[in-house]
């Protein structure tokens, strides 16, 4: 394991990607494989249909795909900017959806409020990182001097 990458990641540009992947991977797996537990323990819904389970497995796939891109951005500078932009959109997109839900459905339970705050913080922290380190992933260009 390359501890230099981990040390640098914790000190600079990758922290938002590390935190996001560390949360989104287990959350995605939980959505995909723990759906019956989630619904019975937290939201009191019984009788999950195959269609509902399929929807949550698709959500799991999206979560894992985005987290994979973020991990790629941690280890490969060429992907950092793309990983960061998708991280910002992912987190702030979740926040937007939760705000819409609050407006139309009411205030959710505490765990969802805390999740919304965390997503908001990660989204804006990613934006801050992008602004600070925007030149980290400039593409190589083969241009002639004119």
Residue 137 lies in a domain: no
Residue 115 lies in a domain: yes
Asked if residue 59 lies in contact with residue 9, where contact means CB atoms within 8 angstroms, the answer is no
Residue 87 lies in a domain: yes
Domain ranges, residue 35: 3-132
Among the listed residues 107, 87, 93, the one whose alpha carbon sits nearest the alpha carbon of residue 17? 87
Strands (E), the chain: none
Residue 139 lies in a domain: no
Residue 64 lies in a domain: yes
pLDDT at site 146: 44
pLDDT at site 58: 95
pLDDT at site 43: 64
For the entire predicted model, the pTM comes to: 0.79
Q: At CA 76, angle to CA 70 and CA 77, rounded to 5? A: 100
The tally of domains found in the chain comes to: 1
Among the listed residues 65, 103, 59, 112, the one whose alpha carbon sits nearest the alpha carbon of residue 87? 65
Q: What is the CA radius of gyration of the chain?
A: 18
Tokens representing 26 are: 């287990």
pLDDT at site 4: 56
Residue 138 lies in a domain: no
pLDDT at site 140: 42
Residue 99 lies in a domain: yes
pLDDT at site 2: 55
pLDDT at site 34: 84
Among the listed residues 68, 96, 87, the one whose alpha carbon sits nearest the alpha carbon of residue 16? 87
* Residues near 88 by beta carbon (within 8 Å), at least 6 away in sequence: 123, 126, 127, 130
* Three-state DSSP state, 129: helix
Residue 69 lies in a domain: yes
Among the listed residues 66, 39, 64, the one whose alpha carbon sits nearest the alpha carbon of residue 53? 39
Tokens representing 59 are: 């959500």
User: What is the mean pLDDT for each group of 10 consecutive residues in the chain (146 residues)?
Assistant: 52 88 95 78 72 91 98 94 97 97 95 94 95 61 41
């Amino acid at each position: 394991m390359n501890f230099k990458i981990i040390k640098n990641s914790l000190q600079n540009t990758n922290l938002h990607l590390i935190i996001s992947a560390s949360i989104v991977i287990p959350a995605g797996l939980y959505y995909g494989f723990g759906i019956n537990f989630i619904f019975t323990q937290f939201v009191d819904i019984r009788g999950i249909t195959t269609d509902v389970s399929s929807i949550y497995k698709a959500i799991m796939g999206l979560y894992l795909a985005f987290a994979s891109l973020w991990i790629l951005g941690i280890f490969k500078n060429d992907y950092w900017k793309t990983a960061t932009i998708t991280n910002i959109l992912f987190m702030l997109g979740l926040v937007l959806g939760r705000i819409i839900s609050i407006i139309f459905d009411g205030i959710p339970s505490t765990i969802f409020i805390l999740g919304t705050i965390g997503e908001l913080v990660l989204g804006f922290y990613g934006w801050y990182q992008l602004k600070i380190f925007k030149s980290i992933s400039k593409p190589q260009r083969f241009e002639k001097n004119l």
